[in-house]
Amino acid sequence: MWHVVMYSAGIGSWSAAMRVAEKHGTDNLILLFTDVKHKLDQHPHRGEDQDAYRFLVEGAKVIGGRLEWISRGKHIWQTFEDNRYMGNSRVDPCSRELKREMAREWVEKHFKPDEVTLYIGIDWTEMHRCASNEKAWYPYKVEFPMCEQPYLVKSDMCRWAESLGVKRPRLYELGFSHNNCGGFCVKAGLGQFYNLLKTMPERYAYHESKQEELFSVLGKRVPFLRQTVNRKLRYLSLKEFREQVEAGNQIDMFDIGGCGCFGDVEEGDQYATVAG
């Protein structure tokens, strides 16, 4: 029996992989990483945070098994342009194409359902996501090691990695709750984008310019950031949000949103998985 862990740069999937290695050994263990850019693309703001790649590789060495690094060869803004759709918290062409579909194709190509168990780094605080992931991966069997006791929170998991000599991903230290897409996510809320603007203004500027380019291609402005003012919901672009921050407007810092690249499955989506 083979064991394939959906291995993102997050601490949840690292911890899940550690538990799988401890339970089943590493001879038949594969850590499947689906990159959100071309592997050779060195652009500082595309794909994962540079330090996430460091964590990914160092973490894999400690776990053991084989790191399988796959990529569609394109980045998230290309998926929005190709689909002529600005991703958002409900519909995410980026993770559908670059994560879920790619992982599914790879698994189907290499294993029949009775040859492999799949593992996803959802933790016990996200248990509500397990059922949709099991359904999406059917007939493959999926397990969620971090939903089992002893229950750990992210800070416990980070300490675990550091006790083995692997420094936690820097995005956690910068106040991000996820280590996906370099702190950017179309599912994230205003609080996360405020943090992105304050901690990595160049990265924010990159995404702002890509969004403006996309709006030009689409011929319409279809932003994904949501803001409630006087009980009315409105959508605003990255440019408009930055201008609000620069004007000193009050920002809802608790609106972190639902980043978690693999986690939220589009309606009718066959290929769900969850990143840590």
Q: Which stretch binds ligand SF4 (CB under 6 A): 7-15, 60-68, 93-101, 225-233?
A: 93-101
Tokens of 224: 């994904």
How many chain residues bind ligand SF4 (CB under 6 A)? 15
- Does residue 13 touch ligand SF4 according to CB under 6 A? no
Measure the CA dihedral 187/15/145/70, to 10°.
60
Nearer to ligand SF4, 123 or 264 (CB): 264
Single out the residue of 65, 62, 75 nearest to residue 35, CA to CA.
Answer: 75
Cα(233)–Cα(254) distance, integer angstroms: 16
Cα(151)–Cα(231) distance, integer angstroms: 38
- Does residue 146 touch ligand SF4 according to CB under 6 A? no
- Does residue 261 touch ligand SF4 according to CB under 6 A? yes
190-199 and 201-218 helices cross at what angle (nearest 10)? 120
The amino acid at residue 5 is: V
Q: Is 194 exposed, middle or buried (0-12, 13-18, 19+ CB in 10 A)?
A: buried
C-alpha radius of gyration, the chain, whole number: 18
- Does residue 256 touch ligand SF4 according to CB under 6 A? no
- Does residue 272 touch ligand SF4 according to CB under 6 A? no
Q: Which of 11, 21, 29, 94 binds ligand SF4 (CB under 6 A)?
A: 94
- Does residue 265 touch ligand SF4 according to CB under 6 A? no
Nearer to ligand SF4, 30 or 181 (CB): 181
- Does residue 147 touch ligand SF4 according to CB under 6 A? no
Asked if 56 and 47 touch (Cβ cutoff 8 Å), the reply is: no
63-92 residues in contact with ligand SF4 (CB under 6 A) are 76, 87, 92
- Does residue 133 touch ligand SF4 according to CB under 6 A? no
Cα(78)–Cα(73) distance, integer angstroms: 10
- Does residue 46 touch ligand SF4 according to CB under 6 A? no
Q: Which of 20, 36, 120, 166 binds ligand SF4 (CB under 6 A)?
A: 36
Per DSSP, the residues of 156-183 read HHHHHHHHTT-PPPHHHHTT-S--SGGG
- Does residue 107 touch ligand SF4 according to CB under 6 A? no
- Does residue 129 touch ligand SF4 according to CB under 6 A? no
Nearer to ligand SF4, 21 or 186 (CB): 186
Q: Which stretch binds ligand SF4 (CB under 6 A): 11-19, 141-149, 181-189, 237-245?
A: 181-189
Residues that bind ligand SF4 (CB under 6 A): 36, 76, 87, 92, 94-95, 98, 180-181, 184-187, 259, 261
